[in-house]
Amino acid sequence: MKAAVLVFPGSNCDRDLAEGFRSIGAEVSMVWHKDTSLPEGVDIVGVPGGFSFGDYLRCGAIAAQSPITRALVAHAGRGGYVLGICNGFQVLTETGLLPGALMRNGALKFVCRTVGLRVETSESAFTETYGKGAQIRLPVAHHDGNYVADSEVLTRLNAEARVALRYTEQVNGSVEDIAGVLSGNRRVLGLMPHPERAIEAAQGNTDGAAMFASLTGALALV
Amino acid sequence: MKARVHVMLKDGVLDPQGEAVRHALSTLGFEGVNGVRQGKVIELDLDASDKAGAEAQVDAMCQKLLANTVIERYDVEILT
Query: What is the domain partition of chain B in residue ranges?
Result: 2-79
Those residues whose C-beta lies under 8 Å from the C-beta of residue B67, and which sit 6 or more positions away, are B5, B7, B73, B74
Cα-only R_g, chain A: 16
Which phi and psi angles does A168 have, rounded to 5°? -105, 10
Let me know: does A106 contact A173? Beta carbons within 8 Å: yes
Q: Encode pLDDT of B20-35 as tens digits.
A: 999 999 999 999 999 9
CATH superfamily of B2-79: Phosphoribosylformylglycinamidine synthase subunit PurS (3.30.1280.10)
Mean pLDDT (chain A, rounded): 96
Q: Which of A146, A148, A171 to mutate to test the interface with B (most CBs of B within 10 A)?
A: A148
Is A123 known to be catalytic?
no
Q: Encode pLDDT of A69-93 as tens digits.
A: 999 999 999 999 999 999 999 999 9
Q: At what angle do helices A87-95 and A67-77 cross, to 10 degrees?
A: 70
- Please indicate whether, in this complex, the C-beta atoms of B16 and A108 are within 8 angstroms of each other: yes
- Checking ipTM against 0.90, whether it exceeds it is no
Those residues whose C-beta lies under 8 Å from the C-beta of residue B66, and which sit 6 or more positions away, are A57, B5, B7, B42, B74
pLDDT(A49) > 90: yes
Q: Which chain A residue has its CA at the smallest distance from B65's CA? A: A61
- Closest CA–CA distance from residue B16 to any residue of chain A (Å): 6
Is A176 known to be catalytic?
no
Residues of B in contact with A57 (CB under 8 A): 65-66
Which of the following is catalytic: A86, A94, A128, A142? A86
Residues of B in contact with A94 (CB under 8 A): 68
Q: Encode pLDDT of A106-146 as tens digits.
A: 999 999 999 999 999 999 999 999 999 999 999 999 999 99
B66 touches chain A (CB under 8 A): yes
Strand A188-191 vs strand A81-85: parallel, antiparallel, or unpaired? parallel
HEC-encoded secondary structure of chain A: CEEEEEECCCECCHHHHHHHHHCCCCEEEEEECCCCCCCCCCCEEEECCECHHHHCCCCCCCHHHCHHHHHHHHHHHCCCEEEEECHHHHHHHHHCCCCCEEECCCCCCCEEEEEEEEECCCCCCCCCCCCCCCEEEEEEEECCCEEECCHHHHHHHHHCCCEEEEECCCCCCCHHHEEEEECCCCCEEEECCCHHHCCCHHHCCCCCHHHHHHHHHHHHCC
Q: What is the C-alpha separation between B17 and B29, in angstroms, rounded?
A: 19
Q: What is the C-alpha separation between B46 and B15, in angstroms, rounded?
A: 31
- Please indicate whether, in this complex, the C-beta atoms of B16 and A104 are within 8 angstroms of each other: yes
Residues A21-41, mean pLDDT to the nearest whole number: 96
**Coil, helix or strand for B75?**
strand
Residues of A in contact with B64 (CB under 8 A): 65
Q: What is the C-alpha separation between A222 and B24, in angstroms, rounded?
A: 55
Q: Encode pLDDT of A137-182 as tens digits.
A: 999 999 999 999 999 999 999 999 999 999 999 999 999 999 999 9
A192 touches chain B (CB under 8 A): no
B8 touches chain A (CB under 8 A): no
CATH of A2-220, one of 3.40.50.150, 3.40.50.880, 3.20.20.70, 3.40.50.620: 3.40.50.880
The predicted model scores a pTM of 0.94
